[in-house]
């Protein structure tokens, strides 16, 4: 079993780190709010006071944080991950959804310090993380991925390599951009259906078995109908907007315009302006039902 560090114990990180423990790895964790790591400590993980301390001597480091700023904070600096000593040919595995620019910069920093770097953002929900049922979207060399497969297998049921470093992140930003468009479109369609006098619950059931169905649409349109945005928050508007903006930044870098993504970003910004940043992203229905917010975007 390997000496492993896990940095970032949020809703996803908690389950992922738990799977590494269950697989028998020697695990040290760090989280800015230490109390969130207590369930792992009770199961045998060690809690470190800094990312550097957590990663000293590690054969592999996993990171799962919210955005570029938080990722930069844990990787760089005197107390960052890359300041730690490492086992020979140790792995730096970044599982967060980050901008493509930062992932490529981070890969350069890691390589300069002798780490083998994989960008491995995930698809799945917190219960998938807890059950080891995530899909990992990997960018990195085929040899490095092969060498890391046993480690990655502890937290996932599927690993897809998209190409060299950065390719996994590119795909994750693309698929999250698609998801944002789908959710916004579902909210628009549901609001239109209600304006047409249709029963929203019947509409949601019909959509779930239609050609327009997707896991994103089915899950979120049901929550829209039930007005269920406050409990068991899966993904917030603030995080979705962050991902969409990173995706649009990638598109711009590649000389590609993504007009549907731009519309989704505008709707998510309006939702955040309503002060609804920390509810479930299904709350986007309010952009269409709160006053004239849904009409302003067409002016």
User: In which residue are the tokens 């083998």 written?
Assistant: 116
How buried is residue 96: exposed, middle or buried, by Cβ count under 10 Å (0-12/13-18/19+)? Answer: buried
User: Which tokens in the block code for residue 5?
Assistant: 């560090």
The residue from 3, 11, 36, 172 that is catalytic is 172
The reply to whether 172 belongs to the active site is yes
d(CA 215, CA 227): 18
Greatest Cα pair distance, the chain, in angstroms, is 65
Nearest of 111, 122, 155, 147 to residue 22 by alpha carbon: 155
Q: Are 180 and 244 in contact (CB under 8 A)?
A: yes
Q: Are 187 and 270 in contact (CB under 8 A)?
A: no
User: Which tokens in the block code for residue 6?
Assistant: 């896990």
Give CA separation, 194 vs 52, 188, 190, 224, in Å: 54, 10, 6, 12
Terminal alpha carbon distance of the chain: 60
Q: Are 134 and 156 in contact (CB under 8 A)?
A: yes
65 half-sphere exposure, CB direction, 13 A CA radius? 26
User: Which tokens in the block code for residue 113?
Assistant: 């310090």
User: Which tokens in the block code for residue 192?
Assistant: 């239109």
DSSP count for the chain of H helices, then E strands? 14, 9
State the pairing for strand pair 116-119/122-123: unpaired
Active site residues: 172
């Amino acid at each position: 079993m390997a000496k492993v560090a896990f940095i970032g114990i949020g809703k996803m990180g908690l389950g992922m780190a738990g799977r590494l423990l269950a697989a028998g790895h020697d695990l040290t964790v760090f989280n800015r709010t230490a109390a969130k790591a207590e369930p792992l400590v009770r199961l045998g993980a060690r809690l470190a006071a800094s990312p550097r301390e957590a990663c000293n001597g590690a054969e592999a480091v996993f990171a799962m944080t919210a955005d570029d700023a938080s990722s930069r904070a844990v990787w760089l600096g005197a107390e960052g991950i890359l300041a730690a000593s490492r086992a020979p040919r140790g792995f730096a595995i970044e599982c967060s959804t980050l901008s493509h620019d930062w992932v490529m910069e981070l890969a350069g920093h890691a390589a300069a310090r002798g780490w083998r770097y994989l960008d491995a953002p995930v698809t799945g929900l917190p219960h998938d993380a807890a059950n080891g049922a995530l899909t990992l979207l990997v960018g990195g060399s085929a040899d490095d991925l092969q060498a890391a497969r046993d480690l990655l297998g502890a937290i996932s049921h599927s690993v897809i390599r998209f190409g060299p470093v950065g390719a996994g992140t590119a795909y994750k930003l693309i698929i999250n951009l698609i998801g944002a468009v789908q959710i916004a479109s579902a909210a628009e369609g549901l609001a239109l259906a209600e304006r047409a006098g249709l029963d929203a619950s019947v509409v949601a059931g019909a959509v779930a078995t239609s050609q327009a169905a997707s896991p994103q649409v089915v899950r979120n349109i049901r929550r829209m109908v039930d007005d269920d945005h406050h409990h068991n928050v899966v993904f917030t508007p603030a995080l979705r907007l962050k991902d969409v903006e990173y995706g649009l930044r990638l598109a711009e870098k590649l000389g590609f315009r993504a007009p549907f993504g731009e519309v989704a970003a505008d709707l998510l910004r309006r939702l955040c302006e309503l002060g609804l940043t920390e509810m479930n992203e299904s709350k986007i229905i309010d952009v269409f039902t709160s006053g004239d917010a849904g009409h302003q975007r067409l002016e």
